[in-house]
Amino acid sequence: MYGADAGVLEIEKAAIEQLAPAVQELSYVASSELPTPWATFGIHVFVEAATGKEHLMLTLGDVNNGEPVLARVHSECLTGDALFSQRCDCGAQLETAIKAIATEGRGALLYMRQEGRGIGLVNKIRAYQLQDAGADTVEANEQLGFPADMRRYDLCKPMLDHFGIASLRLMTNNPRKVSTLESLGVPVVERIPIQVNRNPFNENYLSTKAAKLGHWLKEHL
């Protein structure tokens, strides 16, 4: 298992208990096919009743056969995922994960609508402005009055349950994703690093992830 220490897990459990009513309001809505350059995935949409946010899940192959599933939990990043921003590694991680699942022929990608580590697109661009003036990503969020990271991973549990996915081989560098999922009863039997697209524009971003958020990142790729 790839978990955190007991103190971190207790904090995660307390947060999950506080958010439990919202989790129960996540509803499955519809499914279709999504052809991509690498494979044709199933695409499934869930709606969070309290906020109206629409979370997506891509699946490929038989994901409920009891075997651990190759998976990525990916938080929305319009600038990186759709506009090819080099300020982060998000778009490259998304493409790498989709390709890996396609190559394996089986897996799941959860696309969570929590832009800018949960602060939303407008505040994310405000944070960019502060970063342009010298703040790092954590300092920028805090200067705007937000925690360093407001993302939720408890919402993943009902999405995984809907498809009978019991355990994961998780593509991530983020210890908080792992500890939250495991505290929810979703074993992460393997953590697969997904360190891609380090470049001069995101060097400070990645270094801050490692130094202040504890992400498992090597200094050089």
Single pTM value for the model: 0.86
Confidence at residue 219, expressed as pLDDT on a 0 to 100 scale: 64
Please tell me whether 99 is known to bind a ligand: no
Segment among 42-56, 114-128, 186-200, 205-219 with least mean pLDDT: 205-219
Distance of alpha carbon 56 from alpha carbon 30, whole angstroms: 10
81 is an active site residue: no
Distance of alpha carbon 101 from alpha carbon 13, whole angstroms: 30
Alpha carbon of residue 136 to chain centroid: 20
Burial of 83 (0-12, 13-18, 19+ CB in 10 A): exposed
Please tell me whether 156 is known to bind a ligand: no
Please tell me whether 179 is known to bind a ligand: no
Distance of alpha carbon 3 from alpha carbon 100, whole angstroms: 23
- Identify residue 80 by its one-letter amino acid code: G
- Binning pLDDT at 50, 70 and 90, where does residue 218 land? confident
Encode pLDDT of 175-196 as tens digits.
999 999 999 999 999 999 999 9
The active-site residue, picked from 149, 154, 176, 191, is: 149
Please tell me whether 124 is known to bind a ligand: no
- Binning pLDDT at 50, 70 and 90, where does residue 50 land? confident
Encode pLDDT of 146-186 as tens digits.
999 999 899 999 999 999 999 999 999 999 999 999 999 99
| Tokens of residue 61, six digits | 């192959």
| Tokens of residue 25, six digits | 């309001």
Task: List the domain boundaries for the chain.
Answer: 33-112+151-220, 115-150
Confidence at residue 157, expressed as pLDDT on a 0 to 100 scale: 95
Query: What 3-state class would DSSP assign to 24?
Result: helix
Average pLDDT (15-19) is: 43
CATH class assigned to 33-112+151-220: alpha beta
H/E stretch holding 72 reads strand 69-75
Please tell me whether 152 is known to bind a ligand: no
Contact 97, 173 (CB under 8 A): no
Distance of alpha carbon 160 from alpha carbon 214, whole angstroms: 25
149 is an active site residue: yes
The active-site residue, picked from 81, 89, 136, 151, is: 151
Q: What is the largest CA-CA distance in the chain?
A: 51
Confidence at residue 8, expressed as pLDDT on a 0 to 100 scale: 42
Confidence at residue 5, expressed as pLDDT on a 0 to 100 scale: 46
Please state at what angle helix 6-24 crosses helix 175-183, rounded to 10 degrees. Answer: 70
Please tell me whether 212 is known to bind a ligand: no
